């Protein structure tokens, strides 16, 4: 390519003036700065503020920033382990985003800024110069739910819709308050999959991220309820609706993608409510999934946990059918501080009582996206091998 710039270069001056708003009110101020030693420096211009704090998972409560000069408030963290982090500011009691960092994530009704500290786990959550899969938002018919619904589908690099190669499918379910954006954005699933596949750690696979709210066709802003404020209630589904309608999704995927449509080439996993869905769906259809992942899963029954010594009869019969035809991998992951820990412990005891095999992965921490991204990174390499 020539090293001569086009006429467009000449446009830059007037266009910059015009787009000054779009470039932010302090284009020369950079925040956050990821320092070489793994510390992070935040910079915010707030000349009239009395108190500015930064909130992130590296500290239990928001940390006061120091006013340096010209109304710039700054703070440098300790060295942080390589990872993806969320943060926001508290300026005189108002929760705000960093006005000079355009990278954000939505969790239900709140936005937070994000940053990545590289050099380890964070690298897996960062787009790198590797082959990338495509990501599509597709609408499918769900006769069981009586609506056209939306989901996110990742196809791996090299996927050819008219080619001979067929792929296994991983169904990845979100939690309460989430939607078909959750794993794609908060969970960074496409980036993680690209990186795991490129490194040879995971086999190429299709990843399907449905909307798990039976009464909601699509994410807010996209479906008929758009611009309503997202809340948890939208995730409340009529009894059995998600389990009963799940074959609609599998049928659509097997009809529209180059899949290997058998149990050995299907996985299902989910977080929290989606872990509960994965738990129920894999039990209801014991011939459908050979890989099951329960991430901080809502394993509850009739409002309580599974009584390991006297489980509900129907539940026990279904579980027996599932483990008679046992999945190749049944993986349970949870953090020690998770509010669902005890329910998972009861369920594990029930499995132990029956001699049914599973792999258990216990981590620090609680009911957090940090854990769910880490679980995805642990779980995916074990699939379809």
Q: Looking only at residues 123 through 182 of this chain, which bind its own copies when binding is defined by CB under 8 A? A: 126-129, 131-139, 145-146, 148, 150, 157, 161-162, 175-177
Closer CB to its own copies, 214 or 250, in the complex: 214
Please select the residue that binds its own copies; options are 3, 69, 314, 355, rule is CB under 8 A: 3
366, two tokens: 């609680």
Closer CB to its own copies, 267 or 298, in the complex: 298
Smallest gap from residue 290 Cβ to its own copies (A): 25
**Piece of the chain touching its own copies by CB under 8 A; list 21-29, 62-70, 74-82, 284-292:** 21-29
Contacts with its own copies, 263-292, as mask; x by CB under 8 A: ---------xx--x----------------
Q: Taken in order 14, 15, 18, 21, is the CA torsion positive or negative?
A: negative
Closer CB to its own copies, 141 or 317, in the complex: 141
**Region at 68 (left for phi over 0; alpha for psi -120 to 50; beta for the rest):** alpha
CA dist 174 and 181 (Å) reads: 9
What is the DSSP secondary-structure string of 23-51? Answer: T-S-TT---SEE-TTS-EEEEEE-TT-S-
Assess 102 for contact with its own copies (CB under 8 A): yes
Assess 33 for contact with its own copies (CB under 8 A): no
CA dist 71 and 75 (Å) reads: 13
Please select the residue that binds its own copies; options are 339, 353, 359, 362, rule is CB under 8 A: 339
Smallest gap from residue 361 Cβ to its own copies (A): 20
Smallest gap from residue 357 Cβ to its own copies (A): 25
**Piece of the chain touching its own copies by CB under 8 A; list 62-70, 220-228, 307-315, 376-384:** 220-228
Question: CA 154: distance to chain centroid?
Answer: 13
Give the strand pairing for 72-76 and 83-91.
Answer: unpaired
Smallest gap from residue 77 Cβ to its own copies (A): 17
Residue 78 burial by CB count (10 A; 0-12/13-18/19+): exposed, middle or buried?
A: exposed
DSSP code at position 230: P
Phi, psi of 7, deg, nearest 5: -55, -25
Phi, psi of 158, deg, nearest 5: 90, -10
Contacts with its own copies, 363-382, as mask; x by CB under 8 A: ---xx---------------
Assess 96 for contact with its own copies (CB under 8 A): yes
98, two tokens: 């960093």
Assess 119 for contact with its own copies (CB under 8 A): no
Closer CB to its own copies, 90 or 374, in the complex: 90
Whether the CB-CB separation of 344 and 308 falls below 8 Å is answered with no
257, two tokens: 């993608």
Please select the residue that binds its own copies; options are 36, 69, 94, 310, rule is CB under 8 A: 94
């Amino acid at each position: 390519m020539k090293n001569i710039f086009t006429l467009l270069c000449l446009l830059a001056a007037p266009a910059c003036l015009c787009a000054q708003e779009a470039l932010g009110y302090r284009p020369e101020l950079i925040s956050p700065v990821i320092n070489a030693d793994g510390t992070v420096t935040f910079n915010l211009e707030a000349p009239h503020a009395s108190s500015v704090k930064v909130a992130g998972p590296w500290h239990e409560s928001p940390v006061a920033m120091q006013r340096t000069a010209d109304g710039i408030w700054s703070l440098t963290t300790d060295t942080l382990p390589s990872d993806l982090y969320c943060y926001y500011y508290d300026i005189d009691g108002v929760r705000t985003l960093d006005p000079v960092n355009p990278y954000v994530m939505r969790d239900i009704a709140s936005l937070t800024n994000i940053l990545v500290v590289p050099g380890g786990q964070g690298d897996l959550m960062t787009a790198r110069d590797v082959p990338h899969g495509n990501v599509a938002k597709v609408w499918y018919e769900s006769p069981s739910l009586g609506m056209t619904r939306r989901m996110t589908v990742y196809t791996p690099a090299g996927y050819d819709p008219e080619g001979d190669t067929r792929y296994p499918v991983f169904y990845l379910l979100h939690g309460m308050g989430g939607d078909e954006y959750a794993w794609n954005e908060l969970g960074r699933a496409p980036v993680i999959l690209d990186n795991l596949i490129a490194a040879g750690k995971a086999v190429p696979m299709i990843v399907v991220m449905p909307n798990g709210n039976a009464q909601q066709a699509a994410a807010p802003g996209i479906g008929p309820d758009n611009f309503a404020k997202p809340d948890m209630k939208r995730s409340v589904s009529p009894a059995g609706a998600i389990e009963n309608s799940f074959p609609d999704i599998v049928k659509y995927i097997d009809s529209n993608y180059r899949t290997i449509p058998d149990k050995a080439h299907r996985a299902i996993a989910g977080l929290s409510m989606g872990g509960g869905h994965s738990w129920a769906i894999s039990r209801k259809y014991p011939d459908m999934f050979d890989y099951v992942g329960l991430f901080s899963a809502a394993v509850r029954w009739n409002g309580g946990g599974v009584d390991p010594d006297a489980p509900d009869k129907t539940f026990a019969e279904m579980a027996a059918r599932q483990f008679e035809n046992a999945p190749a991998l049944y993986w349970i992951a949870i953090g020690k501080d998770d509010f669902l820990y005890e329910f998972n412990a009861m369920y594990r005891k029930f499995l132990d009582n029956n001699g049914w095999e599973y792999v258990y992965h216990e981590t620090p921490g609680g009911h957090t996206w940090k854990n769910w991204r880490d679980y995805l990174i642990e779980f995916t390499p074990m699939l379809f091998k």
